Each structure stands twice: as C-alpha cells, then as structure tokens.
Amino acid sequence: MIPLWLEPLARLIDAGGVVLVAIGVVATLLFAMGLERWWYFRFTHRRARRALIHRWIARPDHASWSALTLREVWTQELLARLRRTLPWLKLLVGICPLLGLLGTVTGMISVFDSLALSEVSQARAMADGVARATLPTLAGMAVAVAGLLFTTRLEQLIRREDQKLHDRMARAAEEAHA
C-alpha cells in the first residue's frame, strides 16, 4: 500500500513511465545547482569581489603591463569560480529533451506491443497510449526550457559582472592615485 502523500507521484509515474522519474531527478539536480549558483552569487561572490577590489587598491602599481596582467588574472580567476557549474547546467539542459524523447519512444513501443498482443485496433487504447508516451516529452521540454532560461540569465550575469569588475577596478585605481 502506497502512503497517501505519495499517491500523486505514483500516478504520475504510472502515467509517464520510468523515464519521467529520470527527468524528475535531472530537474532536481538542475534546479538545485541553479539555486546554489544564485546563493553563491548573492553571498560568496560579492564578498570575494570586494576583497579583490581592496587587494587591487592596496597595490602601489596600477598602470604597468605586469599590474594590468595581474588584474586580468585575478578577475578571470574570480569569474571562473562564477562559471564553475555552467557546463554542468548546460549538460543537464541538453539531457532533458533527450530523456523526453526516450520516454516517448519507449511509450510508443509499449503501445504498439499491447496493440499487437490484443489483435484488436482500438482507437481509444491507442489514443491513451500516445498520450502516455508524449508526457515524458512534455516534461523534458518544460524542464529544458526552464533550465535554458536560467543558464542564459547566468551567462548574461557573468558577462555583466566581468564588465563591472573591470570598470570598478579601473575606477578604484584612478581614485587611489587622485
């Protein structure tokens, strides 16, 4: 007997198949990593950015080639930490539609298999089977679109942060010399 609070999940798995569970796991990973990136940017990255700007201001030299190269290395290290999970997020976004397609294919195979066993072509049974087979595609595409929106926003944020960081460090160096 399934507990009452798990019945909706059991019905969803029954309606979409085992592939829907895999899509749910990927969606959970995707959104957990997204939440972690938001948390990182909101709290950890801002402190690291302030520390970097203070470290840059504390340097006596801001104009030489070596100072500018060091500034670039420092900013790229900071931004690399911000980009760290981006490839994994993109991978998970790419996996979602493929899992949805896998669910559709396996669902259609089971529909055709059940139709072949019954030897009766019932339109209602076929329609129910096709609806069951397309549910994983819908779920995979929905998760992929939401993940794509997040990764696109994160990439925009990183580009904007790169420009802001360079501008703030240049302004801080000018103010230090003024």
The DSSP call for residue 63 is S
- Residue 6 forms part of a structural domain: no
Instruction: Supply the pLDDT for residue 139.
Output: 93
Inform me whether the pLDDT recorded for 120 exceeds 70: no
Tens of pLDDT, residue by residue over 144-177, are: 999 999 999 999 999 999 999 989 888 887 887 7
- Residue 127 forms part of a structural domain: yes
| Domain containing residue 93 | 27-177
Instruction: Supply the pLDDT for residue 118.
Output: 67
Inform me whether the pLDDT recorded for 117 exceeds 80: no
Kindly state the tokens that stand for 68. Answer: 């500018």
- Residue 19 forms part of a structural domain: no
Tens of pLDDT, residue by residue over 24-80, are: 999 999 999 999 999 999 999 999 999 999 999 888 888 889 999 999 999 999 999
Q: Based on the structure, what is the number of domains in the chain?
A: 1
Kindly state the tokens that stand for 17. Answer: 């198949």
- Residue 9 forms part of a structural domain: no
- Residue 40 forms part of a structural domain: yes
* Distance between CA atoms of residues 54 and 82, nearest Å: 19
Instruction: Supply the pLDDT for residue 51.
Output: 94
Is residue 83 within 8 Å of 158, Cβ to Cβ? Answer: yes
Inform me whether the pLDDT recorded for 115 exceeds 80: no
Instruction: Supply the pLDDT for residue 125.
Output: 66
